[in-house]
Structure 1
Amino acid sequence: MLKLSVLDQSPLLHNHTPQEALQQTLTLAQHADELGYTRFWMSEHHSTTSLAGSAPEILVPTIAAHTKQIRVGTGGVLLPHYSPFKVAEQFRVLEAMYPNRIDLGIGRAPGGQPGVNYALNRGQYPDTKNYPTDAGHLIDYLLGHDPQGYQVKATPMSPTTPPVWMLGSSGSSAQVAGELGASYNFAQFINPEDGREAVERYYDHFIPSPLQEEPYASIAVFVVVGDTDEEAEYYASSLDTALLMADQGQRRDHFPNPEEASQMTFNHFEQKRIVENRSRMIVGNVESVKQQLIDLATHYQVNEVMVNSIVAPFEQRLAAYEKLAQAFHLS
């Protein structure tokens, strides 16, 4: 049976505040926990006014403390901005507090506008070429080693070690994940191109490690579910508009509600871009979405899909995850 997980970005829905968006993340996590989803990840976005999740490493302990069994993690920590040793310490603490429930997801892309990168790195632009080395050092620190010879140890060294996931939207990150013996997640909701090749590249380059003996991959995709296809299209119009605005470089403070988005008109080029963006999304009634998710997992040769459903109102988001849980008989 296909496993389902949740990727949440703490989106600001129409007429909601950042505080409400973060509270909705907690509510959604508790809902997903009760419904039987496998894991709940939160993303890292900086200087983005429509997404409240700028510090997932802070959200993780809050979510873990208010849920019972779901795995909680980052999707992901943007490693070029941070010290591998410090990230290892943070997640060793989290693992000690919530053993066997923490996932450490990391990403290579610096993310955000140039100013974000300078602000996070004291006026310097991060060098992503060091990512494979930094990721290797992070894993070594997690495992209790001292890879840089500084005579340090990432503490506390509890009996278990959180699994490391590498997030990517290209084959290069997939290869690094395989060579370091980590898990891999392909972000189809960011880049729908060449995903199958990226996952295959991960499998082909996987080397067993102290983290795991077998390769494990998953994918993340936008999902919009309705009682009917027509209702799903209505709710999807909000995400269509938000993605188009992002492509055009428009700054927005919230995701447009479907009432206004469904009435908007677009020129030929905008309509074409909306159609192209649909390859990042799965839209339809619950049975249609279920089959599309199964087909997507089969295409990628994975047995876990992370669902990112951004629709308004918030109650509809909760309902979408509940419909999917029932369709897949999660428990």
Structure 2
Amino acid sequence: MAIQLSVLDQSPILQGSSPQEALQQTIELAKRVDQLGYKRFWMSEHHSAQSLAGSAPELLTGIIAQATERIKVGTGGVLLPHYSTYKVAEIFRTLEGLYPGRIDLGVGRAPGGMPGVNYALNKGKYPDVHSFPKQAADLLSYLEGGSPEGYQVYATPLGPTVPPVWILGSSGSSAGLAGELGANYTFAQFINPDGGPAAIQQYYDHFIPSEHQKEPTASAAVFTVVGETEEEAEYLASSLDVSLLMADQGQIRNHFMSPEEAQQYKFSYFEAERVKYNRNRMIVGDVESVKQQLEQMATDFQIDEIIANVIVYPFEKRLDSYEKLAKAFQLNEK
């Protein structure tokens, strides 16, 4: 089974760089992976995060689509409970009108930041995440020209093509919803290392064909670290190890540290166990090892597309990782 590779980019702010540089690196990375033959380039939504610059993926989607030629561009994803479903539909119908056939609309229901983010985005109220299934159904209807909320309004501009909707999640509930709506589904292995194959099987079991989606389509996103050797890969991954640990502990990070800095960190026994657990969210090794691990993951998950999320220091090593993967999987480089 041939595996398709895609990219999830969170605009990480690396040690010694600025948020502005992180955003420029996102554009540079998108241009390069477009040339290398990757299928998709998705951007995440994070709020009040000092180590991630990507807070407005819907805005970046238009900028990246303009800067690239053939790669599909989209969100991984829009956190729907924070927003007007109608407005989201209009944004993505506009993007689809500008770049027909190249736009993906990935949506999720996670809060996307610290607790205060929920209130800041919702006029001092906590968003009703339980309404997410209805919001997702309404979104699909608006995109397809319907008026699901009964207001007799339509998401414009209307056009002959509709951006595909991907339900993003890390549990079986989101997988079942994606299937029932006849949407696509992506499992966030880089967030939750447990239950991916079962969630995707639940998606397949619940899939009902829809107007624009006749067959189930699933993928999974995973942190990926590629080195020249196994030793270098471990070295590069050490900064992600410490960053994920700090996030688990609720520590504020204003950058992703260099491996040199990460190597100085002394783990307690319980921290070392947590790092070991977090490695299940990552695929680490030299290029041949990573290729084999990704192929095994695709088999275990019953998917043919994996979305690689590479956060390593420095930026040049990030580019190099995607170049190595493209060569190993014989992507169609221009």
Give how far 1:149 is off: 1.2
Give how far 1:80 is off: 0.2
2:247 aligns to what SS in structure 1? helix
Instruction: Tell me, in whole angstroms, the C-alpha distance in 1 between the residues paired with 2:253 and 2:113.
Output: 14
Q: Which amino acid aligns with 2:143?
A: L
Instruction: Tell me, in whole angstroms, the C-alpha distance in 2 between the residues paired with 1:262 and 1:218.
Output: 33
Instruction: Tell me, in whole angstroms, the C-alpha distance in 1 between the residues paired with 2:216 and 2:39.
Output: 18
Task: Give the match for residue 124 of structure 1.
Answer: 125
Task: Give the match for residue 78 of structure 1.
Answer: 79
Task: Give the match for residue 175 of structure 2.
Answer: 174
Instruction: Tell me, in whole angstroms, the C-alpha distance in 2 between the residues paired with 1:91 and 1:184.
Output: 18
Equivalent residue runs for 1:1-331 within 5 Å? 1-331=2-332
Q: Which amino acid aligns with 2:11?
A: S
2:306 aligns to what SS in structure 1? strand
Q: Which amino acid aligns with 2:283?
A: I
Give how far 1:210 is off: 1.0
Give how far 1:264 is off: 2.0
Give per-residue Cα distances to partners, 1:14-47, cap 9 Å, x unaligned. Answer: 1000000000000000010000000000000000
TM-score of the aligned structures, taking structure 1 as reference length = 0.99
Give how far 1:211 is off: 2.1
Give per-residue Cα distances to partners, 1:243-284, cap 9 Å, x unaligned. Answer: 000011100100010111123221111111100000000000
Instruction: Tell me, in whole angstroms, the C-alpha distance in 1 between the residues paired with 2:266 and 2:111.
Output: 34
Q: Which amino acid aligns with 1:302?
A: I
Give per-residue Cα distances to partners, 1:35-72, cap 9 Å, x unaligned. Answer: 00000000000000100000000000000000000000
Give per-residue Cα distances to partners, 1:68-88, cap 9 Å, x unaligned. Answer: 000000000000000110000
Give how far 1:111 is off: 2.5
Instruction: Tell me, in whole angstroms, the C-alpha distance in 1 between the residues paired with 2:76 and 2:211.
Output: 22
Give how far 1:158 is off: 1.1
Give how far 1:112 is off: 1.5
Instruction: Tell me, in whole angstroms, the C-alpha distance in 2 between the residues paired with 1:131 and 1:317.
Output: 34
Instruction: Tell me, in whole angstroms, the C-alpha distance in 2 between the residues paired with 1:149 and 1:275.
Output: 51
Instruction: Tell me, in whole angstroms, the C-alpha distance in 2 between the residues paired with 1:246 and 1:191.
Output: 14
2:163 aligns to what SS in structure 1? coil
Aligned length: 331
Give how far 1:193 is off: 0.6
Q: Which amino acid aligns with 2:131?
A: N
Give per-residue Cα distances to partners, 1:296-321, cap 9 Å, x unaligned. Answer: 01000000000000000000000000
1:46 aligns to what SS in structure 2? coil
Q: Which amino acid aligns with 1:193?
A: D
Range with greater deviation from structure 2 (106-115 or 295-304): 106-115
Instruction: Tell me, in whole angstroms, the C-alpha distance in 2 between the residues paired with 1:81 and 1:295.
Output: 36
Instruction: Tell me, in whole angstroms, the C-alpha distance in 2 between the residues paired with 1:263 and 1:85.
Output: 49
Give how far 1:216 is off: 0.2
In the TM superposition, structure 1's runs of 4+ consecutive aligned residues that sit over 6 Å from their partners are none
Range with greater deviation from structure 2 (239-248 or 255-264): 255-264
Give per-residue Cα distances to partners, 1:200-232, cap 9 Å, x unaligned. Answer: 000000000012100000000000000100000
Does the 8 A contact of 1:164 with 1:211 survive in 2?
no
Give how far 1:107 is off: 0.1
Instruction: Tell me, in whole angstroms, the C-alpha distance in 2 between the residues paired with 1:108 and 1:208.
Output: 23
Instruction: Tell me, in whole angstroms, the C-alpha distance in 2 between the residues paired with 1:110 and 1:241.
Output: 23
Instruction: Tell me, in whole angstroms, the C-alpha distance in 2 between the residues paired with 1:232 and 1:263.
Output: 17
TM-score of the aligned structures, taking structure 2 as reference length = 0.98
Give how far 1:108 is off: 1.3
1:47 aligns to what SS in structure 2? coil
Instruction: Tell me, in whole angstroms, the C-alpha distance in 2 between the residues paired with 1:110 and 1:207.
Output: 28
Which structure 2 residue ranges, 5 or more long, are not aligned? Answer: none
Q: Which amino acid aligns with 1:188?
A: Q
